[in-house]
Amino acid sequence: MLNDIFIKPFVDMFTAPDFLLQVLWEGLVSGILYALIALGFVLIYRSSRIFNFAQGIMVVFAALTLVGLHAMGVPAWICVILTLGVMFVLAVSIERVVLRPLVGQPDIILFMATIGITLFLIGLGEIIFGGENKVMITDELGIPTDSLVLEPWGGLLILEQKDITAVVVAALLVVALLAFLNKTRMGRAIRALGDDHQAALSVGISLQQIWVLVWFIAGIIALVTGIAWGARAGVSFALEVIAYKALPVLMLGGLESITGAIVGGLLIGMLEKLFEIYWGQPLLGGNTETWFAFVLALIVLLFRPQGLFGERIIERV
């Protein structure tokens, strides 16, 4: 038993390095998508201290809107633009109807409001688009679906081109987001709200504008994630469950850290895939990807409650 836990997995990795690369690649693809979703959580929390429970259903709703518009005969890239418009209207509506009336309320009230947003979007999505599974319009968007075959160390490594596209687009989105936060006036305003809420408001930063902006950015992230996950697994309300894999990413990386969201997503994506292949399937019958990330995050929290990249909170009494 000890041999199966501590020795055999590493022997398998050493004797089949091409398969190890395949496992790591699959984990990297999942990890960068987890990181994207986690970024949506982090941005909204930093700017408003609201834990956005609706981020998962926003991924589903954006993907359903894109596919639904195309089913009506709208050209694919026009569908993307229109879907971004829908996500902007959603951001404005959430700020005006839900958040603005609740300014100054306890955090738990705002959190419950995002649960209400989740249930509303589920019902609205089912009414408009139906509950059946749908196929992402990958070909219409120009996303390649072929495979790239490599032979490292004389072995075999298969890279799906749609996964390569997802990684490249996600990486570019992260770079663009970091540039926006660090180089633009509105980006610095978002960071200022995250660093010191009261000081930022006292110098004239508009809370309402920032809320609309960060919810719209979260909508953009949701659309990109929905396209990438939809190309891999189809478009359905089950994507919401996948999106909640961002929760252990936040626990691991820290709820306010953009760096933590990126690093945490990549770590969880690759570690859960490694554990599933080399320990989960041989010893536990598989399906460990459904719980491994949460267990890992809980272990980290036992030793570092603020996460790997979160700031330690010191309260003086």
Helix 76-93 with 55-71: angle, nearest 10 deg = 140
Largest separation between any pair of C-alpha atoms in the chain: 64
What pLDDT was estimated at residue 85?
Answer: 97
DSSP states of 5-61? HHTHHHHHHHH-HHHHHHHHHHHHHHHHHHHHHHHHHHHHHHHHS---TTHHHHHHH
In order of their start, the domains of the chain are: 2-303 (1.10.3470)
**Cβ pair 223, 141 in contact under 8 A:** no
What pLDDT was estimated at residue 6?
Answer: 84
- Which residues have C-beta within 8 Å of that of residue 157, sequence separation ≥ 6? 18, 21, 22, 25, 149, 150, 151
Low-confidence ranges of the chain (pLDDT < 50): none
What pLDDT was estimated at residue 203?
Answer: 65
What pLDDT was estimated at residue 199?
Answer: 63
What pLDDT was estimated at residue 197?
Answer: 62
C-alpha 170/C-alpha 200 separation (Å) is: 30
**Cβ pair 62, 226 in contact under 8 A:** yes
Helix (H, G, I), strand (E, B) or coil at 183: helix
Instruction: Kindly provide the b/e burial profile for residues 252-286, where b requires at least 16 CB atoms within 10 angstroms of the residue's own CB.
Output: bbbbbbbebbbbbbbbbbbbbbbbbbbbbeeeeee
| Local structure of residue 135 (DSSP, 8 states) | -
Cα torsion 13, 18, 23, 28 to 10°: value is: 120
Q: Give, for 138, the enclosing helix (H) or strand (E).
A: none
Q: Where are the alpha helices (DSSP H) in 72-106?
A: 76-93
Size of the chain, expressed as the number of residues it contains: 317
Angle CA(189)–CA(191)–CA(192) in degrees, nearest 5?
A: 60
**Cβ pair 62, 271 in contact under 8 A:** no
CA 317 distance to own-chain centroid: 37
Spatial CA neighbour of 250 closest among 216, 217, 291, 296: 296
What pLDDT was estimated at residue 221?
Answer: 93
What pLDDT was estimated at residue 236?
Answer: 87
DSSP states of 205-272? --HHHHHHHHHHHHHHHHHHHHHHHHHHH-BSTTHHHHHTTHHHHHHHH-TT-HHHHHHHHHHHHHHH
What pLDDT was estimated at residue 89?
Answer: 96
**Structure tokens that stand for 222 in this block:** 């949701």
